[in-house]
Chains A and B, each alone.
Chain A
């Protein structure tokens, strides 16, 4: 069960603005999905190691050799706002 307050807290963490309706829908839908998912709580998994990679690879390292960077025009080409050769953003107030 995930209530409206939790939905709002998670939405804030995820930087998603939700309408009042969406908060309700989200609370209902996520609760239903979590209900199903919570069955894994019944499994005995105490000594089981976690798998974050299914592949057995270690030390995928890169030599410290420069590769050409993007020309600045290209780096900025998709920017919604360009200011002084940089990416313009509204000033972080209480973000």
Chain B
């Protein structure tokens, strides 16, 4: 019975609860049991959760106002959840329980989801392997010796392994798309501004965006539908022009796909490229046209990103000072209190980025670094705009490799940063992009990324759905 419940898609589960065929409490218990069992194993398990609910929350009855009533939701640690640990994967926030909910958490609660648990992540969302968590690394359900990707690795692993029907993640430079790819699930990074950032513990404000993880495109659309909306508490949020629809379509007739040469070159491993090319051929069979195109400034995106994101992060993380919440180190004077608290509380990757960002903003360097990076950002956004004059979507592999071994890339920060090579340009341009499972390479999942113009999510989800149906990827074996 429990296995049957886990096998249900979120959409079907909501449907069955509505019709009284299954009970929300039963569904919650089934997931809770699996999540808690994994959490109990600590780092010997997937270590996907940092907190799992121990009582079944009361959900509103399923109705038109609460269509998702009773479907459990896993939430990345960095979303503030009232009275529930919200630690952003950091020792500096260990045990921190905020007095308020993130807007998107509230929205999904009113749509009827129940909070199943908080998922592990790279500290302050900085990382591409989920090895930078103060609460231990997360493992990939397809191969426990490998990483799930990051920074939303806990959410991706939980959904892939059937420890949650779906989950919330955040994507700053690829933190939804890359782990979705490495774990064989769907992940959407929405148009910047379409989901409120209020209550999301910030990494890089001008890039951070919350998005859904799910097993399939339909669930992804369904969860996303209830996340969007202008929020008076987030000045950078906007009303999505369309209501998000459940995806439909049987072919890709008339769809023009652009393949940017700059993002499929060296660095993309052969198995990934092969899977990518096969899917391009499939798309053509489905009626799409596929052409090579150019994003001339994309090769500089990584550099711009590694100036902008750390600069914003260095400022966003200044509030972790031991005064109002979180860790405080012992010290008799204020300066030592600050420097020791932050030295003890932050992990090495966070320190590295704070240092990089502080340097990039410091007197005499601003123009050469941060200022230039913002100009590169302008050029990258222009590249996409002109590409979308000729193409409906830009497609690339979601990540240049399949899941790599734990520890394999930790020695060289730059090599780790290259993991986000294919996803960062879209983040800088603020446009939506989705990663869908694109088969396996050596038994490990590969992702296919589709990016569209701002607010094209409905079309993007439709195209992703058509490809998903045609690809017929089966991730059920890791949910056993």
Contacts and interface: CB of A to CB of B under 8 A. Distances in A.
Judged by CB atoms under 8 Å, the answer to whether A and B touch is yes
Interface in B436-470: 454
B135 interface: no
Given A17-B343, A32-B414, A70 B430 contact: no
A77 B99 contact: yes
Interface in A1-55: 2, 6-7, 10-11, 13-18, 22, 26, 29-30, 32-34, 36-41, 43, 45, 48-55
Contacts of A94: 333, 335
Given A33-B413, A45-B372, A54 B354 contact: no
A93 interface: yes
B359 A2 contact: yes
Interface residues of B, number: 67
A13 B338 CA distance: 11
A43 B372 CA distance: 9
B2 interface: no
B contacts with A: majority SS: helix
Nearest to B96: A78
A57 B342 contact: no
Interface stretch (B180-188, B243-251, B280-288, B375-383): B375-383
B28 interface: no
A14 B354 contact: yes
Contacts of B429: 54
Given A40-B376, A90-B331, A54 B381 contact: yes
B268 to A, nearest CB: 18
Nearest to A76: B324
B307 A37 contact: yes
Interface in B200-257: 206, 232, 235-236, 238
Interface string B325-346: 1111001111111111011001
A50 to B, nearest CB: 4
Contacts of A95: 333-335, 338
Interface string B84-125: 000000000000110100000000000000000000000000
B86 to A, nearest CB: 11
B126 to A, nearest CB: 13
B362 interface: yes
Contacts of B343: 16-18
B339 A74 contact: no
B152 to A, nearest CB: 21
Given A87-B324, A90-B334, A40 B303 contact: yes
Given A48-B378, A55-B238, A16 B346 contact: yes
A78 B325 contact: yes
Interface in A51-90: 51-55, 57, 60, 62, 70, 74-75, 77-81, 87, 89-90
Given A37-B306, A38-B303, A54-B454, 10 more contacts: A6-B359, A13-B362, A30-B352, A43-B297, A43-B375, A49-B375, A57-B236, A80-B328, A81-B328, A94-B335
10 contacts: A17-B343, A18-B343, A36-B303, A36-B414, A37-B307, A43-B297, A60-B235, A78-B97, A89-B337, A90-B332
Interface of B: 96-97, 99, 192-193, 206, 232, 235-236, 238, 297, 300, 302-304, 306-307, 314, 318, 321-328, 331-340, 342-343, 346, 351-352, 354-356, 358-359, 362, 368-369, 371-379, 381, 413-414, 417, 428-430, 454
Interface of A: 2, 6-7, 10-11, 13-18, 22, 26, 29-30, 32-34, 36-41, 43, 45, 48-55, 57, 60, 62, 70, 74-75, 77-81, 87, 89-95
Closest 10 CB pairs of A and B: A54-B430, A78-B325, A60-B235, A50-B374, A95-B334, A80-B328, A17-B339, A17-B343, A15-B338, A95-B335
